[in-house]
C-alpha cells in the first residue's frame, strides 16, 4: 500500500488502528425486537456510532455539518432529533466535541461545546410528549489527562411526559 501511496505522491501510512473485533460484525438483536417498537433513530457525526445504530436497525439521520469535531452542527442535530420524534419513539444524539476538547486538554473549548449543546436543548422540550430523546457523548475524556477515563458519561434523557409517542 505504501508503494502505491508514494507513487501517487502521498505520504506513507505509518499507523494502523485496530479496535476489538476488527473485521467481525457483531450479532446484535434488532432494536425493534428488543424494545418492542420502531427501530428508533440515531444522529451522530462519527461512523462508529452510526454503524452500531445501523446494525441495530435504527434510522441513521445525516445532518449537514454534523461531525465528530468541536464545531459540529449541534443545533442541526437537535433539530433533526425533534423532527425524528415525529416518526420514532426513541432518538439518540451523540455529541463528540467534548471528547475532542478533552484530548486537546482544552477546557475552554470543552465548555464551549457544552454551552452550545445546552442552548440547543430547549427545542426538545417542545416535543417531550412524543418520544424519548437521549443526548450523550461516547466516553469521558478529562482535560486534566487528555485520555479516556472510567468516569461517568453525561447522559441527558428527555422521556415523554404523557407516555405518548408514535409507533
pLDDT at 18: 66
Whole-number pLDDT of residue 21:
57
76/60 Cα distance (integer angstroms): 14
- What 3-state DSSP class applies to 145? coil
- In tens digits, what is the pLDDT along the chain, a chain of 167 residues? 889 989 999 988 887 766 655 667 778 888 888 888 777 999 999 998 999 999 999 999 999 999 989 999 999 999 999 999 999 989 999 999 999 999 999 999 999 999 999 898 888 877 767 788 999 988 899 999 999 999 998 888 877 665 544 43
Q: What whole-number distance in Å separates Cα of residue 64 and Cα of residue 62?
A: 7
Query: Could you tell me how far CA 69 lies from the centroid of its own chain?
Result: 11
Q: Which three cell numbers stand for residue 36?
A: 418492542
C-alpha cell at position 110: 470543552
Q: pLDDT at position 160, please? A: 67
As given in the structure block, the three cell numbers for residue 60 are 441513521
The confidence score (pLDDT) of residue 77 equals 95
Sign of the alpha-carbon dihedral angle for 158, 159, 165, 167: positive
Check residue 20 and give its pLDDT: 58
Separation of first and last alpha carbons in the chain: 48
Burial zone of 163 (CB within 10 Å; 0-12 exposed, 13-18 middle, 19+ buried): exposed
Backbone angles phi, psi at 73, to 5 degrees: -80, 80
CA 167, CA 164: separation in Å to the nearest integer? 9
Dihedral, CA of residue 101, residue 65, residue 44 and residue 76, to nearest 10: 100
How far apart CA 78 and CA 101 sit, in angstroms, is 20
Domains (ranges, CATH) in the chain? 31-158 (3.40.720.10)
Amino acid at each position: 500500500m505504501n508503494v502505491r501511496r508514494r507513487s501517487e505522491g502521498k505520504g506513507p501510512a505509518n499507523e494502523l488502528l485496530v479496535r476489538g473485533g476488527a473485521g467481525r460484525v457483531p450479532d446484535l438483536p434488532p432494536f425493534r425486537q428488543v424494545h418492542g417498537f420502531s427501530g428508533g433513530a440515531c444522529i451522530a457525526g462519527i461512523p462508529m456510532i452510526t454503524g452500531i445504530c445501523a446494525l441495530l436497525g435504527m434510522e441513521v439521520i445525516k445532518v449537514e455539518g454534523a461531525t465528530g469535531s468541536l464545531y459540529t452542527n449541534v443545533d442541526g442535530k437537535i433539530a433533526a432529533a425533534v423532527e425524528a420524534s415525529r416518526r420514532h419513539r426513541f432518538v439518540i444524539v451523540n455529541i463528540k466535541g467534548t471528547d475532542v476538547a478533552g484530548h486537546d486538554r482544552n477546557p475552554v473549548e470543552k465548555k464551549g461545546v457544552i454551552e452550545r449543546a445546552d442552548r440547543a436543548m430547549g427545542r426538545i422540550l417542545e416535543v417531550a410528549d412524543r418520544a424519548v430523546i437521549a443526548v450523550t457523548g461516547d466516553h469521558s475524556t478529562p482535560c486534566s489527562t487528555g485520555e479516556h477515563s472510567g468516569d461517568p458519561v453525561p447522559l441527558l434523557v428527555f422521556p415523554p411526559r404523557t407516555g405518548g409517542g408514535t409507533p
